[in-house]
Structure formats: C-alpha cells, structure tokens
C-alpha cells in the first residue's frame, strides 16, 4: 500500500454484510476485508463484474450505508465517527459521488445557475467573486457558461450534465470523487471527452478519483491504480500497469481473456463459463491455502487464498 504523504483516505479491512428479510433473514456479504489507500491526484479504477461489491465500496466511502466491519480513515478520523450535522456537511464538502444517471442527480425544476447558488449558500467556498469562480469551473470542463447557466437539466445532454457534476466537484475543491459507471450512459465520442476531462481535472486540482467500472479497457486507459473485485473480495490491487502486465489472480486473468479484440467475431461454440472461473478460483485458493493477500512486487498485491 502507499507509503507517502499523499494518502488522503485509507480503507482498512472494510466489510459490508446486508441483511434482508425479517422472519427468515438472508445475509449478503457484499464486501469483505477490503483495504486500499486513496492518494491525492490519482485515479483508481475499481473493476469487477456485476454484483462484485464495487458500488457498495463507493457507498461506504460516501457514508450512504454503514460499515459492518473495518474502517475508512479520512484526515486521521474514522468516518463512522462522523455523526453530527456540521461534521457530516464538512465531509461531504470534500468527498462526493457522481453516478451513472446524471439526470437523476439534478432537480428538474432548477436551472443550472440555481444548482451553483445552492452550493454557495451551503458552503463557504472561499471565492471573492462567485460568478467568476462558476464561469471558470465551467470553462474548465469545456462548457460555455452563457449557454449553460440558464438551462434546465432536460435542456442539456447526459455528457454535459456529467461535465457539470465534474465542474461542481472542482469548484468545491473535492478531495475524493467517487465516479460510479460515470460514462456508461454516454456515446463513444462523448465518453472519451468526459474521461480525458476527468483525468486532466484530477491531475490539475489534485483530486483523487475512484472510477467504478466493469470495463477493463477503460480502467487501463484512465487509472494510475487498479482494484479488482470478485465476489466482495479485493483479489488484485496496485499499480495499473503492473497488474495488466502480470495479472496473477485467476479472476483477473479471466477478465483479460474475456476482452474482445477489434475484429473478433462472436463464436457460439466458444461458451463463456462462469463456473469455470469459480472452479479456477477455488483451485487457486486451495493450492495457496494460508497465504492470504501477498504483495508479489512493489505496489502489486494478490489474494492467494481467502482463508
Ligand atoms: N441494500 C442491499 N440489500 C441487500 N443486498 C444488497 C444491497 N445492496 C447491494 N446488495 C448486494 O450486494 C452485492 C454487491 O452489490 P453492488 O451493488 O456493490 O455490486 P456492483 O459490483 O456495484 O454491481 P453492478 O456493477 O451491477 O452495479 C450484490 O450481491 C447485491 O445484490
């Protein structure tokens, strides 16, 4: 894990167990023993199949759900201990989320200028000239303030709304931004624009981003660090390039094999068998029983066994 002073948040042995039903409760282990550091100005991809626990980790960081076990340390404090209103507000000033559906994030009755006014009403952002600050943030995300501020959300495209959310994060000088399936609703050409913008903003403003995605290629394109999740466990963690060059956990290896290459055609004979992956992972854990999570090289760790 990171050893430098740039760590803004540390996630330690984080677990989340959901309980559903009252008479015959069912328990889902959505995340188990997840640990990683979030560093200033770095993009971390959180990659895994549907149901692997990615959004759960994002929601735990955003304090939208309670931690079952473990800690999230921000500025020396366990965020579970942040309970009073003023402290919670302070936390949300610096730690924010952008979700898949930008339309659901905005109040359809509020014009964009009102969205920004509300931020300034709620927080002391320390700007002398509020209008200039808003215009600068909009220019930063390639939005024309004159064409944006008077508009209602439905008059803007999904990509423009997502850029607006990035502008809001920049204006608030956010430390950690959780971007959950940020671009999945956008078309290919808009996607690259939003992604590039996110990377540039992150580097320029020192904002850390957790980029949650199913897409291994996107993860590689965008991130400095990668976290691979499988069934609630963090199975591979570290420097993106190292993971991609030396994928070691069988689930990560499967993800690479499953990426179609340009020009590949679908072959109905070649069936994708999730059971095969489950078997491979079980075999791997059995062969390596007792090893647990091991750093196999600097900034590259692998879960060799789950016990
Ligand atoms: N509120 C909840 N109550 C019960 N189970 C839940 C709840 N939220 C999530 N889960 C379960 O926790 C597991 C992890 O869900 P999560 O949403 O974190 O996965 P994900 O990797 O983000 O998936 P996706 O990519 O489909 O969004 C799943 O099995 C899911 O059904």
* 19 domain-assigned: no
- Give domain status of residue 183, yes or no: yes
Asked, for residue 28, whether it belongs to a domain, the answer is: no
Q: Strand, coil or helix: what is 100?
A: coil
Cβ–Cβ < 8 Å for 60, 14: yes
For ligand 1, atom 4, which residue shows the shortest CA distance? 18
Q: Is residue 272 part of a domain?
A: yes
DSSP codes, 122-181: H-----S-HHHHHHHHHHHTT--HHHHTT--GGGS-HHHHHHHHHHHHHHTT-SEEEEES
Q: How far is the CA of 230 from the centre of ligand 1 (A)?
A: 12
Q: In this model, does residue 87 exceed pLDDT 60? A: yes
Range of the domain at 223: 39-63+81-303
C-alpha 53 – ligand 1 centre gap (Å): 6
Q: What is the rounded average pLDDT of the residues 180-188? A: 72
Query: Is residue 56 lining ligand 1, measured as CB closer than 6 Å?
Result: yes
Q: Would residue 244 be called left, alpha or beta, if left means φ above 0 and alpha means ψ between -120 and 50 degrees?
A: alpha
Tell me: pLDDT of 35 over 90. yes
**In the prediction, which pLDDT does 261 show?**
58
Confidence of residue 229 (pLDDT cuts 50, 70, 90): very high
pLDDT at res. 185: 64
How far is the C-alpha of 29 from the C-alpha of 68, rounded, in Å? 10
Q: What is the pLDDT of residues 109-147, one digit of tens each?
A: 899 999 889 888 888 888 889 999 999 889 888 889 999
Q: Is the dihedral of CA 249, 254, 257, 259 positive or negative?
A: negative
Give the per-residue pLDDT at 91. 94
**How many domains does the chain contain in total?**
1
Q: Which tokens belong to 14?
A: 């984080």
User: Residue 15: pLDDT above 90?
Assistant: yes
- Model confidence at 1, pLDDT cuts 50, 70, 90, reads low
State pTM to two decimals. Answer: 0.89
State the pLDDT at residue 194.
77
Q: Does 85 map to a domain?
A: yes
pLDDT in tens, 241-283: 999 999 999 999 998 887 655 555 555 555 555 788 899 999 9
Question: Residue 205: its pLDDT value, please?
Answer: 85
pLDDT, residue 55, reads 92
Q: What is the mean pLDDT of the chain?
A: 88
Task: Determine if ligand 1 sits within 6 Å of the CB of residue 54.
Answer: yes
Give the range among 84-93, 97-106, 137-146, 223-232 with minimum mean pLDDT.
97-106
Per-residue pLDDT for 175 more than 90? yes
> Cα dihedral angle (233, 235, 237, 243), rounded to 10 degrees?
-150
CB–CB of 124/154 below 8 Å? no
Report the C-alpha gap between 13 and 22 in whole angstroms.
Answer: 28
In a domain, 232, yes or no: yes
In 21-89, DSSP assigns E strands to: 26-39, 43-47, 69-74, 77-78
- 240 Cβ closer than 6 Å to some ligand 1 atom: no
Ligand 1: distance of its center to the CA of 150 in Å? 37
Report pLDDT for 160: 86
The enclosing domain of 278 has a CATH number of: 3.40.50.300
Residue 201: per-residue pLDDT: 81
Q: In b/e form, how buried is each residue of 164-187, taking b as 16+ CB within 10 angstroms?
A: bbbbbbbbbebbbbbbbbbbebbe
In terms of DSSP bridges, do strands 69-74 and 77-78 run parallel, antiparallel, or are they unpaired? antiparallel
Mean local confidence (pLDDT), 77-88: 94
Given ligand 1 and candidates 16, 48, 55, 214, which is best to mutate, with the most ligand atoms within 8 Å of its CB? Answer: 55
Higher pLDDT, 3 or 188: 188
Structure tokens at 260: 């179609």
> Would the CB of 213 count as within 6 Å of ligand 1?
no
Residue 6 within a domain: no
Whether residue 238 is contained in a domain is answered as yes
């Amino acid at each position: 894990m990171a050893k430098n002073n740039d760590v803004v948040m540390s996630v330690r042995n984080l677990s989340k167990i959901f309980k559903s039903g009252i008479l015959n409760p069912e328990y889902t282990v959505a995340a188990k023993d997840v640990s990683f550091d979030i560093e200033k100005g770095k993009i971390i991809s959180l990659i895994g199949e549907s149901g692997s626990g990615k959004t759960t980790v994002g929601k735990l960081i955003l304090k939208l759900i309670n931690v079952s076990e473990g800690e999230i340390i921000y500025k020396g404090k366990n965020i579970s201990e942040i309970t009073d209103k003023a402290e919670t507000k302070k936390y949300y000033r610096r730690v924010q989320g952008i979700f898949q559906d930008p339309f659901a994030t905005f109040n359809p009755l509020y014009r964009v200028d009102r969205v920004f006014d509300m931020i300034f009403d709620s927080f002391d952002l320390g700007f002398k000239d509020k209008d200039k600050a808003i215009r600068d943030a909009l220019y930063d995300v390639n939005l024309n303030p004159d064409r944006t501020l008077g508009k209602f959300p439905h008059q803007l495209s999904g990509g423009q709304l997502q850029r607006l959310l990035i502008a809001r994060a920049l204006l608030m000088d956010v430390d950690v931004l959780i971007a959950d399936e940020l671009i999945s609703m956008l078309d290919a050409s808009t996607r690259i624009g939003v992604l590039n913008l996110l990377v540039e903003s992150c580097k320029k403003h020192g904002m850390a981003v957790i980029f949650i995605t199913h897409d291994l290629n996107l993860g590689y394109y965008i991130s400095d660090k990668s976290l691979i999740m499988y069934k609630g466990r963090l199975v591979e963690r570290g420097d993106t390039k190292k993971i991609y060059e030396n994928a070691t956990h069988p689930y990560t290896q499967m993800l690479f094999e499953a990426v179609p290459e340009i020009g590949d055609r679908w072959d109905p004979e070649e069936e994708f068998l999730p059971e095969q992956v489950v078997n491979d992972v079980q075999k791997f854990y059995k062969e390596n029983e007792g090893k647990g999570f091991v750093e196999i090289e600097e900034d590259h760790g692998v879960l060799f066994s789950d016990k």
